Amino acid sequence: MLKINNPTREEWPSVIARPTQQLEDIEVTVSEIFQDVRNNGDLAVKKYTAIFDGVELNDMYVSKKEREFAEANLSDNFKSAILKAKQNIEKFHVSQKSNFKIIETVIGVKCWQEKKPIQKIGLYIPGGTAPLFSTVLMLAIPAQIAGCQDIVLCSPPDKNGKIADEIIYAAQLCGCTKVLKVGGIQAVAGMTFGTKQIPKVYKIFGPGNQFVTVAKQLSTKYGMAIDMPAGPSELLIIADDSANPKYVASDLLSQAEHGTDSQVILVANSMNFIDCVEKEIYLQLARLPRRDIARKSINNSKLILCNDMDTSLDLVNSYGPEHLIICTENNDFYVNGIINAGSVFIGDYSPESAGDYATGTNHTLPTNGFSKAYSGVNLDSFTKSITFQEISKQGLINIGETIEIMAEAEGLEAHKNAVTIRLNDLKL
């Protein structure tokens, strides 16, 4: 593993650089499929499902029978775990509700802001060997709490035209109103333009491969809102000798098993600790089922020695990790100083996987340094604010002249006139 000893600030850009993704090549494909779905609707969607998922589906909807089968087919143990996670996610996201307050900025001028649910949202859940049902919880639960009316879930079918029981069950449990067996670019295009079977939505959430990433980006050109831009998942751990190398190694590996492009970084203040973690990584790695994937991303990972606390905090903020674990003697220093991160895990008993599933926080988080400008998904992601203002006669008398002067200075006489015409009546 690459060990870097107290890099200079000049070296930081290369030390914390993410591997660049080449997405230009697939933009043409994505754009073509969008046009096809826009022009030909379900006919085009079905064609791409046949090509990419290897199955011909006339009805994309998950049937009542499939829903019943999914529920019956899953173990009580599993269902009980999902319910416990759901409770925690609910509790945390319900706590994010806010009441509006009316502010009288000037006597007679009342202003307030109210949050309203986005009425139609789309959730994209990837398919593949491991069914990511936890992402269904992370997106559908806050959507339901926010009061979204239509919660449309799209997930690609397997070769038998099925989607995983776990996903069907979670979708049902968390109030998805429509569950469709459609994936990839065609799913995103379908939710963007609407087809006979796929409802048009106002905002699309959820992870996906590079095709889905580019499709979500392209959908914004057609007026779609998206949760955030996506990139490979990443974890940075800041630790010192007080941390347990065995735990730190297990956390780095839990990130590394996501994919060969996962980003794993350790920042520590002792080379001895770094060596211990490295040894532990290789011990644990050998026993993992996904060791081939994990090994590749571990080989690209970085172990950074940084002896100064302020510098290490700056380095972390410059990187802006999706996940940040803090395991040091002075956790408060880092907790108080962190500005750019998605989700932060504090102390020896807060592994990243706890937040991935069950603490209650959301696991849909900004990667690729996007934490510098984006929040992870939270209750507000499913709402938008409307501002209101109600001005009394006295209120308009109080602020009228200010408006008149400013409108005139911007050369907008009709703006001024809308006030003057009222003030003239009031001054009679």
Looking at the annotation, which residues are catalytic? 322-323
Q: Binding residue for its own copies (CB under 8 A) from 97, 116, 196, 279?
A: 116
Q: What angle do CA 256, 258, 261 make, to 5 degrees?
A: 70
> Which CB, 193 or 247, lies closer to its own copies?
247
Task: Write out the chain in H/E/C secondary structure.
Answer: CEEEECCCCCCHHHHCCCCCCCCHHHHHHHHHHHHHHHHHHHHHHHHHHHHHHCCCCCCCECCHHHHHHHHHHCCHHHHHHHHHHHHHHHHHHHCCCCCCCCEEEECCEEEEEEEEECCEEEEECCCCCCCCHHHHHHHHHHHHHHCCCEEEEEECCCCCCCCCHHHHHHHHHCCCCEEEECCHHHHHHHHHHCCCCCCCCCEEECCCCHHHHHHHHHHHHHCCEECCCCCCCEEEEEECCCCCHHHHHHHHHHHHCCCCCCEEEEEECCHHHHHHHHHHHHHHHCCCCCHHHHHHHHHCCEEEECCCHHHHHHHHHHHCCCEEEEECCCHHHHHHHCCCCCEEEECCCCCHHHHHHCCCCCCCCCCCCHHHCCCCCCHHHHEEEEEEEEECHHHHHHHHHHHHHHHHHCCCHHHHHHHHHHHHHHHC
When binding is defined by CB under 8 A, the residue of 7, 131, 183, 190 that contacts its own copies is 131
Residue 199 in the binding site for its own copies (CB under 8 A): no
Given the rule CB under 8 A, which of 8-16, 61-69, 87-95, 177-185 is the region that contacts its own copies?
87-95
- By CB under 8 A, the residues from 13 to 72 that bind its own copies are none
* Closest CB 100 distance from its own copies, rounded Å: 10
Residue 101 in the binding site for its own copies (CB under 8 A): yes
Note whether 372 binds its own copies by CB under 8 A.
yes
> Contact with its own copies (CB under 8 A): which of 47, 67, 246, 296?
246
User: Does 354 participate in binding its own copies (rule CB under 8 A)?
Assistant: yes
The reply on whether position 91 binds its own copies by CB under 8 A is yes
Backbone angles phi, psi at 116, to 5 degrees: -125, 145
- 225: contact with its own copies by CB under 8 A: yes
Identified binder of its own copies from the candidate list 6, 40, 95, 307, rule CB under 8 A: 95
State in angstroms the smallest separation of the CB of 303 from its own copies. Answer: 18
- Nearest approach in angstroms of CB 180 to its own copies is 20
- Does residue number 5 form part of the binding site for its own copies (CB under 8 A)? no
Q: Site for its own copies (CB under 8 A): which residue of 2, 43, 51, 103?
A: 103
- Considering the complex, state which of residue 273 and residue 345 has its C-beta at the smaller distance from its own copies: 345
**Distance in angstroms (rounded) separating the CA atoms of residues 117 and 305:** 46
Q: 226 to 245, contacts with its own copies by CB under 8 A? A: 229
Give the Cα separation of 195 and 45 in Å (integer): 9
Q: Is 193 in the site for its own copies (CB under 8 A)?
A: no
Question: Is residue 371 close enough to count as binding its own copies by CB under 8 A?
Answer: yes
Q: Which stretch binds its own copies (CB under 8 A): 32-40, 150-158, 256-264, 268-276?
A: 256-264
Q: How far apart are CA 188 and CA 163, in angstroms?
A: 17
Nearer to its own copies, 217 or 311 (CB): 217
Q: Which two tokens stand for residue 203?
A: 């905002």
Distance in Å, CB of 368 to its own copies, minimum: 7
Sole window of 37-45, 50-58, 301-309, 410-418 interacting with its own copies (rule: CB under 8 A):
410-418
Q: Which of 225, 309 has the CB closer to its own copies?
A: 225
Q: Is 1 in the site for its own copies (CB under 8 A)?
A: no
Phi, psi for 123 (deg, rounded to 5): -115, 130
Residue 401 makes contact with its own copies by CB under 8 A: yes
Q: How far is the CB of 270 from its own copies (least distance, A)?
A: 21
Region binding its own copies by CB under 8 A among candidate stretches 44-52, 79-87, 138-146, 153-161: 79-87
Are the C-beta atoms of residues 252 and 298 closer than 8 Å to each other?
yes
> Is 142 a binder of its own copies (CB under 8 A)?
no
Choose, by CB under 8 A, the member of 3, 97, 196, 221 that binds its own copies: 221
Q: Counting contacts by CB under 8 A, is residue 156 touching its own copies?
A: no
For residues 291-330, which are near its own copies according to CB under 8 A?
294
| Position 8 contacts its own copies (CB under 8 A) | no
Q: Decide: residue 146, CB within 10 A, 0-12 exposed, 13-18 middle, 19+ buried.
A: buried
For position 368 contacting its own copies by CB under 8 A, the verdict is yes
Work out how close the CB of 133 gets to its own copies at its nearest, in angstroms, rounded to a whole number. Answer: 7
What's the token pair of residue 191?
A: 């939710």
